[in-house]
Structure 1
Amino acid sequence: MGYTVVSQSEVSPAEERPCELRRLSEAAEMSNVAINRFRAEPGEQIPLAYHYHDQQEEAFYVLSGTMHVETPDGTYQVETGSLFTATPGSPHRAYNPADAEAAIEVLAVGAPAVDGDANEYDPSEDDSAADGESETGGS
């Protein structure tokens, strides 16, 4: 049997991120699911870029504050105690707006845990396609 207890305070923040990221599943040596805890100050975004995943489903549970998520369908405001999900192929960018009063804390879960699954998404490419121009894809 295998059990692990991981204290987020014992997990060092990842370097070169737009906000504080602690990789909890990595610390617990889990390989089938990615579990991350984010803390984003006003003006910080959670992912490295507006993106979508080929295979991974993502769920963001807001522990405190109001997370904003930009999507092609509009911007969602996700309050404390609420869950936002994105299925594979669904572009999204989670952030804490610059005019927010406080930091947000979010627990993110993604499965399967797949390396190289995230693709950058450029919303202007959708605008170009709507204008009759060719769409180039989102890598």
Structure 2
Amino acid sequence: MEKVTIDEVEVEVNPLEVHDVRRPVSRALGTEHFAMNYFELAPGDSFSGGLHTHHDQEEVFYVESGTAEFAVGEERETVTVDAGEVIRFAPGEFQTGYVPEDAEEDVVGWALGAPGASHDWEDLESMVYCDDCGEERAHATALTREGRFEFTCTECGTETTL
């Protein structure tokens, strides 16, 4: 049995610095088959930083307070998720969640994923603009030893590090 207090879980932010508070609760609990992250997002902040998908994991987001928006699919359909609501994304479904810049309140939310307590980088793709292709394309996504994102275009193989 493991028990933690959310405020005592160390803050660890996305390498793209798209939010100020992300607490990897599943790591603090030592889970192996379930991911659980707590977020506090200000207007303009994002859960992840960009449109992406996990081919090996479904994700569920719970908005505890405030209102978040999600861009869904490569067409970026906008879906609003209010306090007390939950949204689910199947493996392979592109999505990104954020708080609009003009929002009047912060968001407290949770990102939950299974199976797996952490990303299998081999099964994660992000939509990123490719200079060589001249348009946004799916990119394989990896995390470098320096803690930065490395994207490789699935069409032409061009690599970009952010």
In 1, Cα distance between the equivalents of 2:100 and 2:12? 21
2:94 to 91, 94, 105: 91
Q: CA RMSD in A?
A: 2.3
**Between Structure 1 and Structure 2, how many residues are aligned?**
130
More strand by share: 2
Superposed, 1:36-75 pairs within 5 Å as: 36-71=37-72, 72=75, 74-75=77-78
Unpaired segments ≥5 residues, structure 2: 141-162
TM-score (norm 2): 0.72
Greater share of helix: 1
Q: Which consecutive residues of structure 1, in runs of 5 or more, have no partner in the other structure? A: 129-134
Counterpart residue number, 1:34: 35
Segments ≥4 residues shifted beyond 6 Å: none
CA distance in 1, matches of 2:5, 2:34: 18
Q: Secondary structure at the match of 1:26?
A: helix
Correspondence for 2:11: 13
Please give the alpha-carbon distance, in whole angstroms, between the structure 1 residues aligned to 2:18 and 2:138.
24
- Cα distance change of structure 1 residues 88 and 9 upon mapping to structure 2, 3 Å threshold: same
Q: Please, what TM-score do these two structures have when normalized by structure 1?
A: 0.84
Letter in 2 for 1:58: E
Work out whether 1:119 is the aligned partner of 2:119. Answer: no
SS in 1 for 2:70: strand
SS in 2 for 1:121: strand
Instruction: Note the C-alpha offset of 1:73.
Output: 5.5
Residue 103 of structure 1: how far off its partner (Å): 0.8
Query: Per chain length, whose mean CA-contact separation is higher, i.e. which structure has more relative contact order (CA < 8 Å, sep 6+)?
Result: 1
